[in-house]
Amino acid sequence: MSNHPTTGKVILAGAGPGDPELLTLKALRYLQSADVVLADRLVSETVLKEYVKPGAEIIPVGKQCRRGASTPQSSINELLVEYALQGKLVVRLKGGDVSIFSNILDELLTLKEHAIPYEIIPGVTAALGAAAYAGIPLTARGHATAVRFLTYYKSDVVTESYWKELAATDDTLVFYMSSETLDGVVANLTKNNIADNKLLAVVEQATTPLQHVHTTNIHEYATNLKGREFISPSLVIIGKVVALHEQFNWLINSGSREQYFKPVAKLFTTVTETTQKANEHVSRA
């Protein structure tokens, strides 16, 4: 007999980058039977409104550190444990894929610590969504033999010697959480003599109806893109493959400044029963 005969289960699932149809069938199946869904900010509202079982509790637990309105990780961990120990089926729904630039490790450690059963369901990560919807094959033959997923959300995550390597490699570089620090990314690569045939793309709100792609030669960044405020979320792709966008792009740029994903601050001020629950946990933390 287990210590918790009524223990439920936690499903850690990726929701994909935006387009609700990029959700996997497996994630959909669990959403249709879950009692509780703890959802990140970068999860499409359509997924929550149309795919989750009617009557299930949906709790937004978004993080947006730069806006200072985030659900602390400890509160998310507490909610996972609390609901699972009540015997509930909990889906922890994350944007994109669960393992790419997410706090899944904290959640796994918490689940292990409390002996809560779990499953992990992958999702389409933003890099792959953006690549597909912008017509930029990330490892196109003759252009790149590898791709690297990186971030430069603060300056100490990339060392001087690694910038040198990133400027020299022919691998495609994809930067997550780095559109606000893009000036620094470009400065570090140009300082290390990145080649002239490397292009840069910023894909705003990839895979959503509001997707907008900006491209420039990296050495002309200062003239073309510097100082521009990109809409969150945005992804940066750098490499020879970006040139293929012009030929293979199949979507018209949105041009709208509207946001597909609501800012966390908004989620927290729309007080519904469920957001209140998340707020209670925030204030307890």
Which residues of this chain interact with ligand SAH, rule CB under 6 A?
17-18, 42, 94-97, 100-102, 125-126, 130, 176-177, 203, 205-207, 233-235
Q: Please, what is the minimum distance in Å from the beta carbon of residue 234 to ligand SAH? A: 5
d(CA 7, CA 18): 32
CB of 151 to ligand SAH, least distance (A): 8
Q: Which amino acid is at 270?
A: T
Closest CB 255 distance from ligand SAH, rounded Å? 16
Question: How far is residue 285's CA from residue 283's CA, in Å, rounded to a whole number?
Answer: 5
Position closest to ligand SAH via CB: 96
Smaller CB distance to ligand SAH: residue 37 or 100?
100
Q: Which residues pair with 121 in a beta bridge?
A: 13
184 close to 155: Cβ distance less than 8 angstroms: yes
- Two structure tokens written together for 15: 């929701």
Q: How far is the CB of 217 from ligand SAH (least distance, A)?
A: 21
Residue with tokens 């992990």: 120
Which lies closer to ligand SAH via its Cβ, residue 8 or residue 238? 238
Q: Which two tokens stand for residue 170?
A: 């022919």
Residue number with CB closer to ligand SAH (130 or 238): 130
Query: Residues with Cβ < 8 Å from 25, sequence gap 6 or more?
Result: none
Nearer to ligand SAH, 12 or 244 (CB): 12
Strands 212-217 and 199-204: antiparallel
Q: Which residues are catalytic?
A: 40, 63
